[in-house]
C-alpha cells in the first residue's frame, strides 16, 4: 500500500524472491516500474496475502488501515508496517489478530512510540502486541540503512549549498 520510494524498494526486493507483487498508490501519476502490478485498492484487498504499508502520515490518512479496511480482505492476511504508526488503527489490528483474520504482523512503528505517554487502551494494545507469538516488533529502525544515511547526507549538502546561493 503506497508505491513511492519505500514501496518501490520493497517491491524490488520481493521480486528477487519470485513473489507476485501488487501495489496501490492513491496518486494516479505513479507508474509501475516493472517490479509490481499497480492495481485499484479493491483489487489489492481481494488478491493480497500480505499487506505491507508504505504511506506517509497525514491527517487525511490517519488510521487509513482501520477495521473497515481490514474487513475488506476476503481471506486471512499477514501485515507489515514500516511506514508510520498513525496510519494503522492498532486496536483494529489487535482485534483482527485475536480473531485470526490477520495471521501475523511485523511492526517497526506503533501509533504511540512514547511508552510513558500511552493511554490505557494503547497500553493494552501494546501489551498484547509485545507478547503475541505471531507479532514481531522492532524499535522504529526499518529506515536506518547505509542507503538512507547516504541519502540524508545528500539532501543536507544540497540544502546547505542552496543557502549559500
Catalytic position from the list 84, 86, 96, 111 = 84
Q: What is the C-alpha separation between 86 and 160, in angstroms, rounded?
A: 31
**Whether residue 84 lies in the annotated active site:** yes
Asked if 115 and 126 touch (Cβ cutoff 8 Å), the reply is yes
Instruction: At 99, list the grid cell.
Output: 480473531
Residues 31, 78, 134: CA angle, nearest 5 degrees: 150
pLDDT per residue as tens digits for the range 10-49: 999 999 999 999 999 999 889 889 999 999 999 999 999 9
Lowest mean pLDDT among 30-39, 46-55, 81-90, 135-144: 135-144
Mean pLDDT of 112-130: 81
52-50-32 Cα angle (round to 5): 60
Q: Which residue among the candidates 47, 62, 103, 140 is catalytic per the annotation?
A: 140
Rounded-to-integer distance, Cα 6 and Cα 10, Å: 6
Residue indicated by cell numbers 483474520: 101
User: What rounded mean pLDDT belongs to the chain?
Assistant: 88
How remote is the C-alpha of 144 from its chain's centroid? 15
User: Is the per-residue pLDDT at 79 higher than 70?
Assistant: yes
User: How many whole angstroms separate alpha carbon 91 and alpha carbon 104?
Assistant: 14
Domain ranges of the chain: 49-163
At the fourth CATH level, the homologous superfamily of domain 49-163 is NAD(P)-binding Rossmann-like Domain (3.40.50.720)
Distances (CA, A) of 58 to 37, 80, 89, 95, 120: 25, 19, 14, 24, 24
Q: Tell me what percent of the residues of the chain surpass a pLDDT of 70.
A: 90
Whole-prediction pTM = 0.80
DSSP 57: -
24/102 Cα distance (integer angstroms): 20
pLDDT in tens, 38-77: 999 999 999 999 999 999 999 999 999 999 999 999 999 9
**Looking at the predicted structure, is the pLDDT value of residue 140 above 50?**
no
Q: Reply yes or no on whether the pLDDT at 145 is more than 60.
A: no
Q: Which of 5, 75, 76, 113 is catalytic?
A: 113
The sign one gets for the Cα dihedral 37, 41, 43, 45 is: positive
Q: Is 140 one of the catalytic residues?
A: yes
Question: Is residue 59 flagged as an active site residue?
Answer: no
**162 pLDDT higher than 90:** no
Amino acid at each position: 500500500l503506497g508505491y513511492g520510494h519505500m514501496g518501490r524498494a520493497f517491491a524490488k526486493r520481493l521480486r528477487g524472491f519470485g513473489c507476485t507483487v501488487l501495489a496501490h498508490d492513491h496518486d494516479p501519476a505513479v507508474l509501475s516500474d516493472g517490479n509490481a502490478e499497480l492495481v485499484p485498492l479493491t483489487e489489492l484487498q481481494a488478491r493480497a496475502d500480505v499487506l505491507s504499508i508504505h504511506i506517509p502520515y497525514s491527517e487525511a490518512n490517519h488510521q487509513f488501515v482501520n477495521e473497515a479496511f481490514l474487513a475488506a480482505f476476503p481471506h486471512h492476511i499477514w501485515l507489515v508496517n514500516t511506514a508510520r504508526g498513525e496510519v494503522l488503527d492498532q486496536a483494529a489490528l489487535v482485534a483482527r489478530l485475536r480473531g485470526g483474520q490477520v495471521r501475523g504482523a511485523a511492526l517497526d512503528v506503533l501509533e504511540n512510540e512514547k511508552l510513558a505517554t500511552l493511554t490505557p487502551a494503547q497500553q493494552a494494545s501494546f501489551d498484547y502486541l509485545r507478547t503475541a507469538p505471531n507479532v514481531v516488533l522492532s524499535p522504529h529502525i526499518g529506515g536506518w540503512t547505509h542507503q538512507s544515511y547516504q541519502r540524508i547526507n545528500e539532501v543536507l549538502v544540497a540544502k546547505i549549498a542552496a543557502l549559500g546561493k
